[in-house]
Amino acid sequence: MPRLSIALAAILWGTTGTAQALASTQAHPLAVGAIRLLIGAACLLGLAMLADRPGLLRPWPRRATLLAGLGVALYQVSFFAAVKTMGVAAGTVTAIGSAPVAAGILGVLLHDERPAWPWYPATALAVCGCALLTSSHAGEFSWAGMPLALGAGFSYALYCAACKSILRDRRPETAMAGVFGIAAVLLAPLLGVLEMTWLWEPQSMAAMAHLGVFATALAYLLFSRGLTRTPVATAVTISLLEPLTATALGIFLLHEPVNTGQLIGMGSILTGMLLLAMERTALPKTSSDPTLKTKYSNEGGRP
């Protein structure tokens, strides 16, 4: 079930802001993003070496791989900086809530994926739900972090669209190992210039282990498995379960107050997810082969 894999990944991603909040207050957001990538890349590379070593050695689509790696790296930097500036809930909601529109445009331009009708009301409901969650945390909201959060949303959509091309001829763990390897290399120099003594605190080590293994390696592996048979726009909309998870964790673990606006926002996001369950992938315009149409109808995505 591809969409269930994406939903599980989104739930794991929803723990990232809380994990950062539970780490040391001395942790710089750029250092958090870089360490998360290094741990995740190492885990994914190990899986790829065990499952598909020849796939690592085959020629890679350079443009798509570089764009996907750049998207991941920029997302880590922008997201953690936005969370630090805007707060856990507002930063997560703004970043992920801005991604579906960008993903819809990139999906059409790069993959000729035109979502079926349920995607439009589902996305509108989910984004409105995110807006309600953000307004419910007006005390934490900061316009200074808005460019960072919007940049994170676009970077995430760019990663999804570029990764779709890589996944066409590689196993998910292999594709993710290559993409995250590039992203880790891009951010690794930050570790030489940022304060890192906080990392040796037991609570910080536990938080980073969770971020690297579960919220990065496992989450992106689940997401990539789902993305192989799900349109980019739909995958990103399902990812809006992330702010729902982040808000729930903020309420139950960080003891943030809950109000009517939050409850309505949560219900709106869940209603959007139910609508997405009705969606069927639209065929590309150029697809006239009856055999190919049957393949799309059965698989629910591009080959």
Q: What is the pLDDT of residues 234-264, one digit of tens each?
A: 888 888 888 788 778 877 877 777 778 878 8
Mean pLDDT, residues 180-201: 91
Query: What pLDDT, on a 0 to 100 scale, did the predictor assign at position 286?
Result: 37
Query: How many other CB atoms are found less than 10 A from the CB of residue 53?
Result: 10
pLDDT exceeds 80 at position 303: no
Query: What pLDDT, on a 0 to 100 scale, did the predictor assign at position 298?
Result: 32
| Closest by CA position to 206, among listed 198, 222, 10 | 198
pLDDT exceeds 60 at position 139: no
289 within domain boundaries = no
Task: Report the alpha-carbon distance of residue 54 to residue 292 in Å, rounded.
Answer: 28
255 within domain boundaries = yes
209 within domain boundaries = yes
Which of helix, strand or coil describes residue 109?
Answer: helix
Q: How many separate domains does the chain show?
A: 1
297 within domain boundaries = no
Mean pLDDT, residues 212-221: 95
pLDDT exceeds 50 at position 287: no
295 within domain boundaries = no
Domain holding 171, by residue range, is: 2-280
298 within domain boundaries = no
Task: Report the alpha-carbon distance of residue 230 to residue 244 in Å, rounded.
Answer: 21
Q: How many residues does the chain have?
A: 303
pLDDT exceeds 60 at position 288: no
Mean pLDDT of the chain: 81
Q: Answer with the residue of higher pLDDT: 167 or 295.
A: 167
Mean pLDDT, residues 76-95: 75
pLDDT exceeds 90 at position 222: yes
Mean pLDDT, residues 259-273: 85
Query: What pLDDT, on a 0 to 100 scale, did the predictor assign at position 289?
Result: 35
Q: Answer with the residue of higher pLDDT: 217 or 92.
A: 217
Query: How many other CB atoms are found less than 10 A from the CB of residue 26?
Result: 13
Alpha carbon 280 to chain centroid distance? 22
Tens digit of pLDDT for each residue in 24-72?
778 887 888 889 999 999 999 999 999 888 888 888 999 999 999 999 9
Q: What percent of the chain has pLDDT over 70?
A: 87
Q: Which two tokens stand for residue 139?
A: 């005390």
Q: Answer with the residue of higher pLDDT: 93 or 251.
A: 251
pLDDT interval class at 280 (50, 70, 90): low
Query: How many other CB atoms are found less than 10 A from the CB of residue 258?
Result: 15
13 within domain boundaries = yes
Q: Answer with the residue of higher pLDDT: 118 or 90.
A: 118
Query: What pLDDT, on a 0 to 100 scale, did the predictor assign at position 242?
Result: 80
264 within domain boundaries = yes
Q: Answer with the residue of higher pLDDT: 202 or 292.
A: 202
Q: What percent of the chain has pLDDT over 90?
A: 29
pTM reported for the whole predicted model:
0.79
pLDDT exceeds 60 at position 281: no
pLDDT interval class at 180 (50, 70, 90): very high
Q: Answer with the residue of higher pLDDT: 264 or 301.
A: 264
Query: What pLDDT, on a 0 to 100 scale, did the predictor assign at position 136?
Result: 54
pLDDT exceeds 60 at position 291: no
Q: Which two tokens stand for residue 287?
A: 């697809």
